[in-house]
Structure 1
Amino acid sequence: MAFIGRQDELQRLETAFKSDHLETILIYGRRRAGKSEIIRKALRLSSIPHLYYECKETSEINHVSSLSSLISEIYGEQRLAFDSLEEVLDYFFERAKEPQILVLDEYPYLRSIRIYLL
């Protein structure tokens, strides 16, 4: 798929991915505009390890289970068990000794879940 007129966006993501600082990027816009596809394209072009998770309209326990499975697979570990989304994210960030990218696509499906990160 060609990204006509999207080179600036890809460059901005690449710059953020290579930053020496913790970066948070919010990508928003109307539906079906290619936001998810540009994120996936930027991840394919990057050599930085990443976790891409597409949120669904479901319960916190389902998100916890899905993310636990994904993290277990990425790190080559036996199935991890967490009680909350906060525990999953804490584990991911504690485990990240080198730069990593975490994508929570379709984040609005998580916004009703309370997460407190310190």
Structure 2
Amino acid sequence: MPPAPDWDLVTVPSRQGLEAVDILRLRTGVGPVLHDTSGDTLGFLVPAGTAGGWDLPGSACTRTDGRGTRFTDEPPVAGAGWLVPPRGSHPVTDPVLLRMALGEAARTLEAADGL
């Protein structure tokens, strides 16, 4: 596994998060993504400092102690597993691109629910 960058964690409901993962994979790429063992939420690793300005309704961004640690097969958050494991090409997800993908995912799900 690659060395871990400094990171914060954006958590979203799993349905919206899965849509966002697909959007990011198809367009720009996605960094590591965690899923909780209950399947309720996904967590996107984003650059450290993102939590200070994150304000997207329906999501939360938590400052972490992920400074200077190394990624392993074991996720850095208890009770979670890797949905998208760490790799060198995208060590974290760009928060601007994540915000756009989450917005698009929310609109897609809203449209699908209205059918």
Report the structure, 1 or 2, having the larger helix content: 1
Question: TM-score, normalised on structure 1?
Answer: 0.23
Report the structure, 1 or 2, having the larger strand content: 2
Bigger radius of gyration among the two: 1
